[in-house]
Structure 1
Amino acid sequence: MITIQEALDLVLSQKQSYGIEEVLLTEAVGRFLAEDIFADRDAPPFDRVMMDGIAISLPDLHEPLSTNYTIQGTQAAGAPQMTLADTSHCLEVMTGAILPINADTIIPYEEIEIKDGKAHVHIEKVSKRFIHYQASDSKKGEKVLEKGKKINVADLGILSTVGKAKINVAKLPSAAIISTGDELVDVDQPPLPHQIRKSNVYSLWASLKQEGITAEMHHIIDDKDALRIKLGQLVRDFDILLLSGGVSKGKFDHIPEILNELGVQKLFHRIAQRPGKPFWFGVHKDYNTKIFAYPGNPVSTYVNHLFYFKQWLHSSLGKAWAFEIKELGEEIPGSPHLAKFISVRLSPTNGKVLPLNHNGSGDLFSLAQTDGFLLLPQREDSYQKGEKFQFIAIQ
């Protein structure tokens, strides 16, 4: 067996670019930028009014305000810039409007009363305020988003602001998800007493969908010839294969043998971790297909997918996936032989992680109560309350 770090290093050694493609702005969320994004103009592009109210000229902060100002007109958002006549006049202004020439202070409507063509002020003194100054966010030509970043909803606003109707993003790999085993039936079929419905393939499919990848799902019975034929085809047709089951030491766990026959180079099989120890990873050198073959228990599959595959995918397409660091909320006995991914919940009061009791890696329903997994390294000594470890959040 190898350590978690050794396994992760081998997985990341196979990171790969799949090229670049251009997508519409509306299709960019969740994709990885393949270009740096620069501001095409100052942001904001003008001194911008931040509150509905009146704009005045305030020559001296120490002098009391006039009790009233003659309303000269209205500066609406989207209208050309107006000019304030003098310090005795004001212009009504709307949020988002360009600041009138000669104006330097906004007084909100809440602090004035409009009557007889004048704005009557309810306060005695005011600072120069409620103005979003030109280029205070970014200057023209400044980098605002960096290549490799995964585009989120806020980034979409920035991309639209700088006029990026189309964006260059990392092209996604094609993927197939394969379940094996005669005990599995489709979700819409009633299982016999000795059967169960497929679940892992749907979790993996949904996880890939979150990354923008629409995977094909396949099922292969526990038969060597069937496995050899179908896996041989899938290795040729897809960039990545995700398998669930068939990699342990059971009599019908044929996956490692068949992949070897198909010319897939094994990089490792079995990691000193719990759950998910039998994880198998390899690459077909001729087709450059990456194969992630997970053990069949649901928690084992999910942990390995989150920790290894997600890090590989993000490193391949953009920036590496950085895990949070969380504080352990109670002492846990040491684990000298295996590193542990423990199921945890986050305390609603202090955010510390608390171990979640469940029935092992086959307990699919425990994932509904799990906020994530805490990675505890191999060691003799107990893991102490207050220590901090990597936290892998449920996605």
Structure 2
Amino acid sequence: MKSVEQHVLDLLALVTAPEATESDLFRAHGTVLAESVVSEVSLPGFDNSSMDGYAVHAADLASASPTTPVRLPVVADIPAGDPTPNAIRPGQCARIMTGAPMPMGADAVVPVEWTDGGNVEVRIEAPATPGGFVRRRGEDVEEGATVLRAGSLIDAGAMGVLAAVGRRTVPVRPRPRVVVLSTGEELVEPGRALGPGQIYESNSYMIAAAAKEVGCEVHRHGFVGDDPAGVREALEGLLLRADVVVTTGGVSMGAYDVVKEVLSEQGTVEFTSVAMQPGKPQGFGTIGPDRTPILTLPGNPVSAFVSFQLFVRPVLLRLRGLAPSPLPSVRARLSAAVTSPKGRRSYLRAVVESAGPGEEVEHTVAPAVRQGSHQLSALADANGLLVVPEQLTELPVGAVAEVLLLPGG
């Protein structure tokens, strides 16, 4: 059996980030920036007021106080967006709104709250500081500055920056198109009546949702039975809409492991055993004339889920143009003992919580009671995967172990 780390490397070797495409700004949300963005404008583009108030010469107000107010004539009224050049001389002021351009000669703004709000003459009861309540040109972004670097995820904040510097389109890595297919003669679509020996199909829903959480475009094909011809036909029909195909089921050593049977004929897919539990049987390779990557996961639901988080997720991150980083992890103290088979790394569903104040280890972890690879219910509550290394067969209560944090946990 090969190591988890080696299997990750083998899968990552299948894919590279796609070529960049130019995207409309709004559609770029959630994609990855392919090139760094340099601003062609300064932000702000001009000195402007950060308050509703009065633009003044600060020196005129050196003696201003509630008992010795200063009165100044109001010689201009400047709203936001005003294109008219304005200026004041010493001993004058201009009423100004938030965001409005500063008049020539003014070096400060007095908030309206410090005044009597006059329109012709204003009474000011506090001194002003040069530069006070003034947003200087370029204090946020200078023209020619890099505002976002290649590889940045375009989230809401990034969208705001791109729009603020005037970008209508941006070069991005297109979202990977992921096709999810499950196999099994016993499967039934949720909502339909179950017959003898049948179960509801859940893997394709789960894996499709996990791929969406990574930021991919996902087509859930659903499932096919255990007929090789049907599986072959389904796979061939899916390739036109796929950058990567993910299957669950049919990859072990059973007589009806149809995915393994069909893909082994092509000679471009390798089936292997990884030293882990759950998720030991794995497959990977390429199919079709365009050598589309295919990742085949075990059929047991928990095995499929864990395999996705460990193996498929890094592949999809690389296809998005992001670093194929593993799940983040913390060290946590066990609230219950756990066991593990010798020679295999276990990934146990668990709930991670913050430890109490003063504790040496910042987190505690409670492993789920039901850990069978077919026992899906504990996934709904789990926010982590407790890792038991290959060389250990048990961890006692109070031991400190690594816990991988699940997305959204």
User: How high is the TM-score relative to the length of structure 2?
Assistant: 0.83
Question: Which residue among 343, 347, 361 is the counterpart of 1:341?
Answer: 347
Query: 2:251 maps to what in 1?
Result: 247
Pairwise CA distance, 1:263: 2.7
Pairwise CA distance, 1:352: 3.3
- The residue identity in structure 2 corresponding to 1:367 is L
**For the Cα contact (< 8 Å) 1:47–1:133, is it kept in 2?**
yes
Any stretches of 5+ residues in structure 2 without a counterpart? 357-361
CA distance change for structure 1 residues 93 and 260 in 2, over 3 Å: closer, same or farther?
Answer: same
Query: 1:362 maps to what in 2?
Result: 374
Distance in structure 1 (CA, Å) of the matches to 2:277 and 2:112: 63
Q: Deviations over 1:17-73 (max 9, x none)?
A: 332322211111111222221101112212232222222221399765653433333
**Worse-matched range after superposition: 19-28 or 352-361:** 352-361
Pairwise CA distance, 1:100: 2.5
Matched, 1:59 2:53: no
- The residue identity in structure 2 corresponding to 1:231 is L
Question: Which residue among 369, 391, 395 is the counterpart of 2:405?
Answer: 391
Find the residue that maps to 1:328 and give its secondary structure.
Answer: strand
Query: 1:261 maps to what in 2?
Result: 265
Matched, 1:224 2:228: yes
> Counterparts in 2 of 1:72-91, with a 5 A limit?
72-80=75-83, 82-91=85-94
Distance in structure 1 (CA, Å) of the matches to 2:404 and 2:234: 38
Query: 2:31 maps to what in 1?
Result: 31
Query: 2:277 maps to what in 1?
Result: 274
Pairwise CA distance, 1:236: 7.2
Q: Deviations over 1:88-128 (max 9, x none)?
A: 33322222222222222233233333247343334456574
Pairwise CA distance, 1:198: 1.8
Any stretches of 5+ residues in structure 1 without a counterpart? none
Find the residue that maps to 1:279 and give its secondary structure.
Answer: strand
Distance in structure 1 (CA, Å) of the matches to 2:142 and 2:352: 41
Distance in structure 1 (CA, Å) of the matches to 2:43 and 2:265: 59
- The residue identity in structure 1 corresponding to 2:311 is Y
Distance in structure 2 (CA, Å) of the matches to 1:388 and 1:47: 52
Pairwise CA distance, 1:389: 5.3
**Worse-matched range after superposition: 45-54 or 334-343:** 334-343
Pairwise CA distance, 1:296: 2.0
**For the Cα contact (< 8 Å) 1:345–1:372, is it kept in 2?**
yes
Distance in structure 2 (CA, Å) of the matches to 1:41 and 1:148: 22
**For the Cα contact (< 8 Å) 1:344–1:374, is it kept in 2?**
yes
Aligned residues: 394
Find the residue that maps to 1:71 and give its secondary structure.
Answer: strand
**Matched residues, percent identical?**
26
Distance in structure 2 (CA, Å) of the matches to 1:84 and 1:235: 67
- The residue identity in structure 1 corresponding to 2:82 is A
Q: Deviations over 1:262-312 (max 9, x none)?
A: 23231x522222332223222248532111111123232222223322211
**For the Cα contact (< 8 Å) 1:375–1:391, is it kept in 2?**
no
CA distance change for structure 1 residues 57 and 299 in 2, over 3 Å: closer, same or farther?
Answer: farther
Query: 2:359 maps to what in 1?
Result: none
- The residue identity in structure 2 corresponding to 1:92 is R
Find the residue that maps to 1:176 and give its secondary structure.
Answer: strand
- The residue identity in structure 1 corresponding to 2:294 is I
Query: 1:303 maps to what in 2?
Result: 306
Pairwise CA distance, 1:260: 1.0
> Counterparts in 2 of 1:1-395, with a 5 A limit?
1-59=1-59, 64=64, 66-80=69-83, 82-115=85-118, 117-123=120-126, 126=129, 128-210=131-213, 211-234=215-238, 238-266=242-270, 269-284=272-287, 286-322=289-325, 323-330=327-334, 337-347=343-353, 352=363, 354-360=365-371, 361-375=373-387, 377-380=389-392, 382=395, 390-394=404-408
Distance in structure 2 (CA, Å) of the matches to 1:224 and 1:391: 38
**For the Cα contact (< 8 Å) 2:109–2:132, is it kept in 1?**
yes
